[in-house]
Amino acid sequence: MKKEEKSILKSIYLVTLLMFFQLSISFGKFDFLPIILGLSSCILIAYSYFIISRFFPAGDKYLLILSSFITQFGLVMIYRLNSQNPVRAIKQITFFTIGIAAYIFLVIFLPEIKKFERLRYVYIIITIVLLSSTLFLGREIKGSKNWIQIGRFNMQPSEIAKLFLILYLSSSIKYIKNFYDALKESIPVFISIGLLVVEKDLGAGLIFFGIYITMLYIGTSNFKYILSAVIIFLLGGLASYFIFPHVKVRIDIWLNPFAYKTGKGYQICQSLFAIAAGGLFGTGLGLGYPQFIPEVHNDFIFSAICEEFGLLGASALILLYILLVYRGLRTAIYAKDDYSRLVAVGISSMLAFQIFVVIGGVTKMIPMTGITLPFVSYGGSSMLLNFICLGVLQKISESGWKENE
Amino acid sequence: MNNKNLVRNIKILIIFFCICFFGIIFYLTYFNLYVSQKIINDNSNPRIKAEENKRLRGLILDRDGNVLVYSKRIQNGKQKRYYKYGEVYAHITGYSSVIYGKSGIELSYNDVLSGKTLIYNNPISVFKRFLDVVMNKERKGNNIFLTIDDKLQQKTYSLLGDNIGAAVAINPKTGEILSMVSKPSFDPEKIDDKFDEYNSDSTGVPFLNRAAKGYYPPGSTFKIITASAALNYIDNIENNSFNCNGKLKIGDYILNDYNKESHGKINLKNAFKVSCNYTFGSIGMKLGYDKLKDMAENFMFNKEIPLNDEYDSINIKVGKIKIENDKSLALTAQDAIGQHGVTSNPMHMALIAASIANEGTMMKPYIVKQIRDDYNNILYEANPNVLKNCIDKKIADKVRDYMIEVVKSGTGKNAKINGITVAGKTGTAQVEGKNETHSWFVAFAPAQDPKIAVAVIVENGGVGGGTAASIVREMIKTYLKK
């Protein structure tokens, strides 16, 4: 077991260093910074793996291995996109370090997840307070009013709210005995989704609904609830298509982006050009033109990967994500108690939905919604939150394995 | 809550997410296979220009390696295209504008010039390229060598002067286009300012390449074809004689000779020499429309003429022969002297002269001689190809002799050159509803070993033996006496 992990890690170091080495020579002159970035990434991965395997050998190490490898893709791409001014890459590796630190901190200090079960009303109140806070304190960035500013930092409360929603749903689902209960427990969720739609944060709304419906099904095995939830969602979606202009615009752009190619559909069209330019093998790292896509380092980083790594590289990344989600759900299966199990399911499906919605969005498979690609997109708050989630999963897997042994 | 149910549900969830994610991979594959080719050349894709700008666009040179068009880097990495001789080569090279796109060689050989399609096929080039990458040297596109003779092209351009018209010279044995000029012309460097002016009727539509896309009645130059048909289809025609009175009466219609001149008793050879409409009208009626049309189609009337080049940069307009009623003798007689339903362009007429010169075989015309990479290695070399065997050598030789007579002592005396036997045919094309006539001259020289075939049209240039013939004379002189 340990041998396999080590050989996988060696391959990861090799790929990471190769990618960064390529970056150091691909812009006309030899650059030391990418090599330094690559080496520090590898040291960071090696160090965190050492801590986890030495002191918490019971847990699932692949969660960490997979996610830090995925992070390298993002780091390489972010450096490549701004090679002249690598501030973002340096910031991103700082966020990665902070994320790893938070992850290790949680694994060491987090008490049993079971203990969190009692506070379910607290969670939902926090969720709704977080979501409505942007209505009063929020700043509108990129057309969505879902950011608040604390000191010098911008953050998205909906990112954190997702975690609290999962905690709430995990504890409340066992109270659902009949349809009336289901409706009662669901009302706060629908309020949250409504708030997100009003704030124009459609992506987060979609993910909230995904998490909600998944956990409802896992917890109750009752298709009637799912069906009614889907019907309510569709009705709500249809209504918001007619009520909110921004929803309508998103759908229209999705149906025919080239009709808006110089205006509101510019970004998605550029993203499609990038994917088309990549083809099967991609143009090669540093040889494409992903910088033509506006905001490419955030939501559209997947298109940049498609252009330079091609269909094969993009598929490899998607497979890595599948493995990560699988390890998360596997953790849920082996968890000690039902509460931990539901929390693990919630976190894994949150990641899965987020990945699906953002990749589907930038490839025009589904309408575009502005959210970040977990572990890859540039951004501190999402990186931190993803590693916190990972820490919780790690904790659950660790206690689960202890139990099984 | 049932523990077993929960685990089973989670397993279902794993399958569900796998389906979702593999769905994305499947969709991306579909996108790459079917959608990407459709959208990638959309004009809002900035990659096209960026990719082109990465390499310095290749040169366009004449057959001897004189640079005609080149690119240079100007401020902030952009490149500008310079046309050394501007209007002289405008209809060949075309233009390359950021606003209005591209035309001519610039358009059809865009991928070659920007270095996209043809890659290094030579290990030495690959090695040199590698060295250049190490040295961080600029990458260049491929260079195109035209079949055009710069001296002849310049001369032709100045000979046409301020006339509206066109001239084409071809190597009859290979099909190489030696010069192609259309007037009025445009300056490819000034496209962005003058696009509308170049496209407007009041200035004579300089964008129109009259040499290949003009639409003129060939007039008496068409008698080359009528004579070929007569020699081919009518037995003993050479010994027949016609009694020309200057006015051929066909029912209610009267076909006049030039200035209603009467040639008296005349045979085919002399009728060709003096361009007798009476004789050729009569021959046309004797042949009938079908045989006339068959012979014209042998000379590529009513047919597309493809270039020998890999990419067609000229698009020669189809020469037409048609008639409203193929029983009508009056209309057949008019077609036989190149009026009424017959239209052509100088490129086509030059090819017809060239096929007589080349013993009845028409070669595929071409304008690109060679393509070389930026290390001067040949990537493409043109091979002459036969387009069509129009007529037997015997007939071609006879028509050639007739054409020699035309220049020696007939309507084309103006094209005579000391020491060079020129074979030619005049044409004076009447334009329906106008008094002015277009002046045509087609020729090749030296008659015994042809090296150049020429067709010239001067709009409103009077008789063919005048302006057009003297232009042809000077062109042949320039080319043969260099």
Question: Which chain B residues are within 8 Å of A333, Cβ to Cβ?
Answer: 7, 10-11
Q: Provide the phi-psi class of A44: left if phi over 0, else alpha when psi is between -120 and 50, else beta.
A: alpha
Higher pLDDT: A159 or A345? It is A345
ipTM score for this prediction: 0.92
From B9, B44, B50, residue closest to A262, measured CB to CB: B44
Disruptive mutation site among A256, A333, A340, A343 for chain B (greatest number of B CBs within 10 Å): A333
**What pLDDT is attached to residue B157?**
94
Q: Does B134 touch chain A (CB under 8 A)?
A: no
**What pLDDT is attached to residue B118?**
52
Kindly report, residue by residue over B391-449, the tens digit of the pLDDT: 999 999 999 999 999 999 888 888 889 889 999 999 888 877 677 788 999 999 898 89
Name the residue with tokens 């002249």.
A84
Taking residues A85-101, what's their average pLDDT?
A: 92
What percent of chain B has a predicted confidence (pLDDT) above 90?
A: 42
Domain B152-184+201-364+384-480 CATH class label: alpha beta
Task: Look at residue B473 and tell me whether its pLDDT is greater than 60.
Answer: yes
Contact B21 A273 (CB under 8 A): no
Q: Does B26 touch chain A (CB under 8 A)?
A: no
Contact A326 B136 (CB under 8 A): no
Higher pLDDT: B340 or B395? It is B395
Taking residues A273-290, what's their average pLDDT?
A: 88
The answer to whether the bond into B184 is cis (omega within 30° of 0) is: yes
Q: Provide the phi-psi class of A156: left if phi over 0, else alpha when psi is between -120 and 50, else beta.
A: beta
Taking residues B170-194, what's their average pLDDT?
A: 91
Question: Which chain B residues are within 8 Å of A356, Cβ to Cβ?
Answer: 17, 20-21, 24
How is residue B25 written in tokens? Answer: 């991979």
Contact B28 A279 (CB under 8 A): no
Of the ranges A174-188, B51-65, B133-147, B162-176, the best mean pLDDT one: B162-176
**B166 bridge partner residues:** B182, B457
Kindly report, residue by residue over B119-144, the tens digit of the pLDDT: 556 777 778 777 777 777 778 888 99
Kindly report, residue by residue over A112-141, the tens digit of the pLDDT: 888 888 888 888 888 888 888 877 776 666
Higher pLDDT: B258 or B291? It is B291
Task: Look at residue B462 and tell me whether its pLDDT is greater than 80.
Answer: no
From A262, A280, A345, residue closest to B10, measured CB to CB: A345
Kindly report, residue by residue over A232-279, the tens digit of the pLDDT: 888 988 888 888 888 888 888 888 888 888 888 888 899 999 999 888
Distance CA B440, CA B461 (A): 8
Taking residues B159-164, what's their average pLDDT?
A: 89
**What pLDDT is attached to residue B1?**
45
Nearest to A78 by CA among A29, A18, A25, A34: A34
**What pLDDT is attached to residue B195?**
86
**What pLDDT is attached to residue B455?**
95
**What pLDDT is attached to residue B463?**
74
Q: Does B5 touch chain A (CB under 8 A)?
A: yes
For B42, which residue in chain A has the nearest alpha carbon?
A273
> What value does the mean pLDDT of chain B take?
88
For A270, which residue in chain B has the nearest alpha carbon?
B45
Question: Which chain A residues are within 8 Å of B132, Cβ to Cβ?
Answer: none
CA trace torsion A371, A373, A379, A385 (10° rounding) = 90
**What pLDDT is attached to residue A173?**
84
**Listed range (B34-38, B188-192, B200-204) with the worst mean pLDDT:** B200-204
- Give the start-end residues of each E strand in B171-256: 177-183, 241-244, 247-250, 253-256
Nearest to B55 by CA among B110, B128, B122: B110
Contact A338 B20 (CB under 8 A): no
From A218, A219, A314, residue closest to B28, measured CB to CB: A314
How many beta-carbon pairs under 8 angstroms link A with B?
116
Domain borders along chain B are 152-184+201-364+384-480
By DSSP bridging, strand B60-61 and strand B143-146 are parallel
DSSP characters over B213-238: H--B--GGGGHHHHHHHHHHHSTTGG
